[in-house]
Structure 1
Amino acid sequence: MSVSRASGAATHQRPGDRRRTLPELLAGRARKMKLDPEREQKLRDSAVRLLRRQLNLSHLLLEVEGPPHKKLSLSQLIDRDSPKAHTGLSSSLIGSALRDQASQLGVPVAVLSSQVVASSIVQICEAGTEPSHGVLLDLEQRKKLSSLLEITQYLLAHSMFSRLSFCQEMWKVQNSLLLEAVWHLHKQNVVSLPELLESHADVQAVVAWLFRNLHGLCEQSEQMDTSCPQADIARAVLSDFVQLLVLKGFQTNSGLRGEAEPEHMPQVAVAVLQRMLASALEALAAGVQEESSAHRAARCWFSMLSGHTCSMISTDSPKSFFRHTLTQILTHKPVLKVSDAIQMQREWSFARTHPLLTSLYRRLFVVVSPEELVGHVQEVLETHEVNWQHVLSCVSALVICFPEARRLVTDWAARWLARAFEDFDLDSMVTVFLLVRQAALEGPSLFLSYADWFQASFGSARGLHGCSKKALVFLFKFLSDLVPFEAPHYLQVHILHPPLVPSKYRFLLTDYVSLARTRLADLKVSIENMGLYEDLSSPGDITEPHSQASQDVEKAIAVFEHTGRIPAAVMEASIFRRPYYVSHFLPALLTPRMLPRVPDGRAAFVEALKRADKIPPSLYATYRQACSAAEEKPAGPGMKADPSCAEGLLGPLTAALQELRAAMTDPAQYDAISARVAVISQRLSSALGLSEDDSSSEVTKVQLSVLVPKLEQREQKVVDLLLTSFCQNLMAASSFAPPDRQGSWAARFVTATCGHRLLPAVLTRLCQLLRHQILYGGNFLLFV
């Protein structure tokens, strides 16, 4: 009976009979036909030849055993949840087929297996439903690749897979590979990333491929919702690749390296990390929009470096990597000249530096100690052309983040200054001035003012400039060369606090002062009209004389109330700066008003100046007549000063205080508190409508016994904001740790805020609040 008749007989059996399968029919046929061994062998050979003629190895791993009339497909092999899946096709069967095909072709089975697996991976990568995502797999692709890797691991275990041949095949189709597929190969120990990268002879091509894929991964991951599974995979892929590149590129302990360590893997790793950082820095420098692909990639890369990825590596690689990273930042595209740095330095303070860069600085500072950091920056300055914007922003970050930065930077500047006068080196001199001015930009609470430093360095006989005529000529030649690029306030410092010069060399100082005054005249800035307490250290905008005079009067009255004496600055101005004193200061002081029955601080100050003959009699008589007229006629609406505080100025300060409070409630952001306080310090100056007077030590001398519990409305609003924020921050921090374990945030906050000459106002307001609590009771914190 033939096979066709047997099949027909089986299809016409009675309904109650079980239908027999083809193997059962063949078995029955074999029992009836006694084949001799020779005929049986011929039949087997014929069957093998038939299978080999029909075998397509490129689709072998993409097929599954199923019913004879069904077409075999990849999806049924790797989709374990599919009802059509059949587990009968085992890895051993695939291995047997690969051996047969390799024997027929005359090639090693390992080489053939590698080609087949590489071809299958390419088909999986190209079968994605979202072709725009050129880095990650979709869910279907991920399931297919997982099944394929199981088969590959079987081949590896049975010495039927060549990693070298597989890597060569992968490089042939590199443009079709997805980075996640390479990551799975690495994680599943099929082919490690170093092995894959090392297999290509062209290092530049390897660097370009890996950089392109990592950059694409950064762009793609920033577009994802952080809660989706794809985002978790993207972070895992990027984190593993960064850790591997850091470990391979910056592992300094040779004892950890194996004998078979790839030769150019460290070169590839360093080159890729450098290109990624350079791309991110260029995106920040270009000022691209936040939603652009370049900015997204930069944000992702900076966040990866600023996070805890590198800290997970247990060797000394992270420290070497961060030192290398800092060097690259400081030397990235050094196109700015020193003259550019002198003119643009104001824009590079910590608060104005891009948050992504400052967060990376803070991460670097966690790994590198302050002493090592200063030493490294000094080494870079001595051996490289530098990007001054990055160098000076790094100095600002150093001053903000380290409490001991004041001492370190001061000692650093002293060493550079000594070297400059020892070798008469202009480069060292420029470096000193830039560093000190940059540190002074962060405010008197963190670093001494530029005026104080300049006076301390050159205003005494102990200064390095006084040792010889050559040293004096060197100093004034340097200052003269700076004049065309200097901001007015620095020229004012040099004129009002000049270097101490022996009388026989007085002409050097005279020539410089003449040049500086000419420059100020070109800028339409008058030395004579400068305020008594004008900030000579902060590169802020020049204040109008009339508005500066009002501030000077309030400060002079405050000093007089605290000391009982006419301030020295007022006495000096009445002699040496008489135009400003007569034309601006006295009119602001002698504003007509209703005099109180009990003389207040302003009235007492006016009388003290009158007794010292510092007010012309005619001007004083006019003032008294105007005050008498004001007493007879009640002040109308037009005579009342507007004490309101512009909400537009308080808004940025309020927002900065709220950001600080949010950071206090999140322990993960404790390292950013210094940055928040720096922003508050900058916005506090704007809210007060005045500049910090770093050069005046008289204002900070407060005697509580003579404090008058009275504040201007603007000052009171600002002080109430600060006190409220301090109390809220204390309560928020206390929910995580007791006060003695909260770090130095409170000291930083108080130092930064009271450095704006607010200490008298803060203490006055505290006296008011305490008095209110004593008289009326209540909770002080709730009242604030």
Structure 2
Amino acid sequence: MSESRAQDAASDLGPGSRRRTWAELLAGRAERQRQGLGRGHKLQESAVRLLRRHLNLSDLLLEVEGSACKTLCLNQLMDPEASADLSGSFIGSALRDQASRLGVPVAVLSSRTVASSIVQICASSGEPSPRVLLNAEQRKKMSSLLEVAQYLLAHSMFSRFSFCQELWEVQNSLLLEAVWRLHVQNIVSLQELLESHADTRATVAWLFRDLCLLCEQMEVSTQHTDIARAMLSDFVQLFVLRGFQKNSGLRSVEPAQMAQLAMDVLQRMLMFTLEALATELQDESPAYRAVKSWFGVFCGHTYGAAVSTDAPKRFFSHTLTQVLTHKPVLRVSDAVQMQRDWSFAKTHPLLTSLYRRLFAVLRPEELVGHLQEVLETHEVNWRHVLSCVSTLVICLPEAQQLVKDWVARLLARAFESCDLDSMVTAFLVVRQAALEGPSVFPPYSDWFQASFGSTRGFHSGSKKTLVFLFKFLSDLVPFEAPRYMQVHILHPPLVPSKYRSLLTDYVTLAKTRLADLKVSVENMGLYEDLSSARDITERAHGCPP
């Protein structure tokens, strides 16, 4: 009978079909079981994610465990006085029991609990917003809470990943100091926290806002100054290392994203400070304090052990480039007319302090080379370029000869190929350096005579170079100050007699311009008094015929 049923079953198989063996049937059942287990695991993960997103933890604990459990596990985690007698093991045990009853992983529950407690601590000050620093009472509560978190972390009852996600859900309720203390206490590092957020733009906006507030509030109260400086130093050190260190050995889930975030934050902070400097900053205003504090990060001690790497140096070079090229709206004619107001003494002290901090890391040869490279490859902000030149020759005496050599190279290139850009740069740079006085740089009259008053002058090669020089000087006449035209008339370029008309035409044009400006030829002066708004005149001893 069994044989007949087997034959009937076999006969039901279609043509070409093969009867499966017991091993194959059992394997199929095992595979179905494994698939069932996989679906169950995925279902559990989905449930946990859903719970984490929508769970009101306090209400759920109150519903499941009653008011006593809520008081024990939430309020006492936050309150250092109430939790002083509770050990980390006791709190961990309570959280483990609750997680078991709720059917969620204890690490997820602990992360959610600590994140919720941090938010409540940040909101408990009663002080006016916006703020980034904790008060003394909040720091005490935060310290107590982080001790519990350290215990949970050490006993594999805390998920850093879940904790980071919880913090990003409530980022606008966090104080920056609370985030920094998580880093200091080794709960979750700044790098790990920043890398865990997928929305880089939102992270940059949040950091930029809070760093500006931190800089503004840094020196308001001496009680918080050391903490604020330590916070700013740690953030900047991370951004510089991640944004400017090549072949970094630092662990990073998404290194390109983190590097871009670091660059964006540093860029936004620099642009903010430069924009503030372009306005009339009032001393000790919030904007003034913010700029002063941010420029303070350009110090070697800010980067700790990182000073042995090239990252800070690349950061400083990049910053100098950004300053020199910020909003290049001024034309050369503007620079010719206004550069007197960009001397070292007239430049905002905060900007000169930034230059000096940048100079401390870069050697004079590197600085002059960097200036040359930026001018050759970028549109520049002439105000920043020339104020930088003034600061360079004032603060670094060894750079004075380097600037002279640079100007000589610019002139050689200009006359070799009639390169107007090199000619403009040479004249602007040498005039700017001469503004700082003869103890720093030779007077413009001495430089002009040395460069063009002999047969070895740059212009003496041919008629083409002579025409180039006098056309350039003539084009400057409508824009430049009388003192420079006076120098050109009293110490004219040496010109062969057959090309004398070129000089005569220029002298006529310059004298006409001086007359329009009501500057008497008989009272033409050669030197400038930087303490006065007027030219100091010296009696001239005649003009070239």
Q: Secondary structure at the match of 1:223?
A: coil
Tell me by how many angstroms 1:260 deviates.
4.9
Task: Decide whether the 8 Å contact of 2:400 with 2:441 is kept in 1.
Answer: yes
What corresponds to 1:263 in structure 2? 256
1:377 has 2:374 as partner: no
What corresponds to 2:339 in structure 1? 345
What corresponds to 1:535 in structure 2? 527
Task: Tell me the amino acid that sits aligned with residue 489 of structure 1.
Answer: R
Tell me by how many angstroms 1:93 deviates.
3.0
Tell me by how many angstroms 1:162 deviates.
1.5
Say if 1:103 and 1:541 are closer, same or farther in 2 by CA, change over 3 A: closer
Give me the whole-angstrom Cα distance separating, in 2, the residues matched to 1:477 and 1:309: 51
Give me the whole-angstrom Cα distance separating, in 1, the residues matched to 2:337 and 2:328: 16
1:334 has 2:328 as partner: yes
Task: Tell me the amino acid that sits aligned with residue 535 of structure 1.
Answer: Y
Tell me by how many angstroms 1:163 deviates.
1.3
Give me the whole-angstrom Cα distance separating, in 2, the residues matched to 1:273 and 1:259: 19
What corresponds to 2:220 in structure 1? 223
Give me the whole-angstrom Cα distance separating, in 1, the residues matched to 2:463 and 2:70: 87
Give me the whole-angstrom Cα distance separating, in 1, the residues matched to 2:439 and 2:523: 28
1:461 has 2:455 as partner: yes
Tell me by how many angstroms 1:59 deviates.
5.9
Tell me by how many angstroms 1:541 deviates.
4.8
Give me the whole-angstrom Cα distance separating, in 2, the residues matched to 1:443 and 1:311: 38
Q: Secondary structure at the match of 1:201?
A: coil
Tell me by how many angstroms 1:528 deviates.
2.4
Q: Secondary structure at the match of 2:527?
A: coil
Say if 1:538 and 1:427 are closer, same or farther in 2 by CA, change over 3 A: farther
Tell me by how many angstroms 1:342 deviates.
0.8
What corresponds to 1:598 in structure 2? none
1:214 has 2:207 as partner: no
1:113 has 2:125 as partner: no
Task: Decide whether the 8 Å contact of 1:211 with 1:275 is kept in 2.
Answer: yes
Tell me by how many angstroms 1:108 deviates.
2.4
Query: Equivalent residues in 2 for 1:310-709 (5 A)?
Result: 310=303, 313-314=306-307, 315-530=309-524, 534-535=526-527, 541-542=533-534, 572-573=541-542
What corresponds to 2:129 in structure 1? 132
Task: Decide whether the 8 Å contact of 2:242 with 2:248 is kept in 1.
Answer: no
Say if 1:500 and 1:168 are closer, same or farther in 2 by CA, change over 3 A: same
Tell me by how many angstroms 1:336 deviates.
1.3
Give me the whole-angstrom Cα distance separating, in 1, the residues matched to 2:423 and 2:62: 88
Number of paired residues?
484
TM-score calculated relative to the size of structure 1 = 0.58
Q: Secondary structure at the match of 1:313?
A: helix
Give me the whole-angstrom Cα distance separating, in 2, the residues matched to 1:542 and 1:273: 42
2:294 to 277, 298, 301: 301
Encode CA deviations 1:686-724: one digit per residue, 9 max, x unaligned.
Answer: xxxxxxxxxxxxxxxxxxxxxxxxxxxxxxxxxxxxxxx
Encode CA deviations 1:429-467: one digit per residue, 9 max, x unaligned.
Answer: 110100000110111111111111111111122222221
Tell me by how many angstroms 1:538 deviates.
7.0
Task: Decide whether the 8 Å contact of 1:361 with 1:397 is kept in 2.
Answer: yes
Q: Secondary structure at the match of 1:256?
A: coil
Q: Secondary structure at the match of 2:183?
A: helix
Encode CA deviations 1:116-141: one digit per residue, 9 max, x unaligned.
Answer: 11111101100113233510111111
Tell me by how many angstroms 1:91 deviates.
2.3
1:185 to 161, 182, 186: 182
Task: Tell me the amino acid that sits aligned with residue 447 of structure 2.
Answer: W
Give me the whole-angstrom Cα distance separating, in 2, the residues matched to 1:506 and 1:74: 90
Tell me by how many angstroms 1:158 deviates.
1.7
When Rg is computed on C-alpha atoms for both structures, the one with the higher figure is: 1
Q: Secondary structure at the match of 1:385?
A: coil
Give me the whole-angstrom Cα distance separating, in 1, the residues matched to 2:98 and 2:431: 76
Task: Decide whether the 8 Å contact of 2:412 with 2:458 is kept in 1.
Answer: yes
Task: Tell me the amino acid that sits aligned with residue 478 of structure 2.
Answer: P
What corresponds to 2:22 in structure 1? none
Task: Tell me the amino acid that sits aligned with residue 364 of structure 1.
Answer: L
Task: Tell me the amino acid that sits aligned with residue 406 of structure 1.
Answer: Q
Give me the whole-angstrom Cα distance separating, in 1, the residues matched to 2:148 and 2:431: 66
Tell me by how many angstroms 1:340 deviates.
1.0
Q: Secondary structure at the match of 1:182?
A: helix
Encode CA deviations 1:467-489: one digit per residue, 9 max, x unaligned.
Answer: 12222221112111111101000
Task: Decide whether the 8 Å contact of 1:489 with 1:537 is kept in 2.
Answer: no
Q: Secondary structure at the match of 1:222?
A: coil
Give me the whole-angstrom Cα distance separating, in 2, the residues matched to 1:50 and 1:494: 90
Aligned residues with identical type, % of pairs: 68
Tell me by how many angstroms 1:96 deviates.
2.8
Which region of structure 1 is more displaced relative to structure 2, 175-184 or 284-293?
284-293
Tell me by how many angstroms 1:201 deviates.
1.2
1:155 to 149, 152, 174: 152
Give me the whole-angstrom Cα distance separating, in 1, the residues matched to 2:530 and 2:178: 55
Task: Tell me the amino acid that sits aligned with residue 454 of structure 1.
Answer: F
Say if 1:105 and 1:56 are closer, same or farther in 2 by CA, change over 3 A: farther
Task: Decide whether the 8 Å contact of 2:107 with 2:157 is kept in 1.
Answer: yes
What corresponds to 1:283 in structure 2? 276
Task: Decide whether the 8 Å contact of 1:135 with 1:178 is kept in 2.
Answer: yes
Any stretches of 5+ residues in structure 2 without a counterpart?
A: 1-60
Say if 1:150 and 1:238 are closer, same or farther in 2 by CA, change over 3 A: same
What corresponds to 1:754 in structure 2? none
Task: Decide whether the 8 Å contact of 2:490 with 2:544 is kept in 1.
Answer: no
Encode CA deviations 1:718-743: one digit per residue, 9 max, x unaligned.
Answer: xxxxxxxxxxxxxxxxxxxxxxxxxx
Tell me by how many angstroms 1:311 deviates.
5.7
Tell me by how many angstroms 1:106 deviates.
3.4
Say if 1:342 and 1:61 are closer, same or farther in 2 by CA, change over 3 A: farther
Task: Decide whether the 8 Å contact of 2:410 with 2:423 is kept in 1.
Answer: yes
Say if 1:541 and 1:157 are closer, same or farther in 2 by CA, change over 3 A: closer
Moved over 4 A (4+): 55-60, 536-544
1:141 has 2:133 as partner: no
What corresponds to 1:175 in structure 2? 172
Give me the whole-angstrom Cα distance separating, in 1, the residues matched to 2:152 and 2:345: 58
RMSD, matched Cα: 2.6
Task: Tell me the amino acid that sits aligned with residue 303 of structure 2.
Answer: C
Tell me by how many angstroms 1:371 deviates.
0.3
Give me the whole-angstrom Cα distance separating, in 2, the residues matched to 1:348 and 1:468: 36
Tell me by how many angstroms 1:535 deviates.
1.9
TM-score calculated relative to the size of structure 2 = 0.83
Encode CA deviations 1:308-337: one digit per residue, 9 max, x unaligned.
Answer: 323653322221111111111111121111
Task: Decide whether the 8 Å contact of 1:490 with 1:537 is kept in 2.
Answer: no
Tell me by how many angstroms 1:361 deviates.
1.5
Say if 1:540 and 1:521 are closer, same or farther in 2 by CA, change over 3 A: farther
1:54 has 2:48 as partner: no
Say if 1:146 and 1:425 are closer, same or farther in 2 by CA, change over 3 A: same
Task: Tell me the amino acid that sits aligned with residue 109 of structure 1.
Answer: V
Task: Decide whether the 8 Å contact of 2:411 with 2:423 is kept in 1.
Answer: yes
Give me the whole-angstrom Cα distance separating, in 2, the residues matched to 1:286 and 1:57: 57
What corresponds to 1:195 in structure 2? 192
Give me the whole-angstrom Cα distance separating, in 2, the residues matched to 1:519 and 1:540: 22
Which region of structure 1 is more displaced relative to structure 2, 190-199 or 415-424?
415-424
Say if 1:536 and 1:86 are closer, same or farther in 2 by CA, change over 3 A: closer
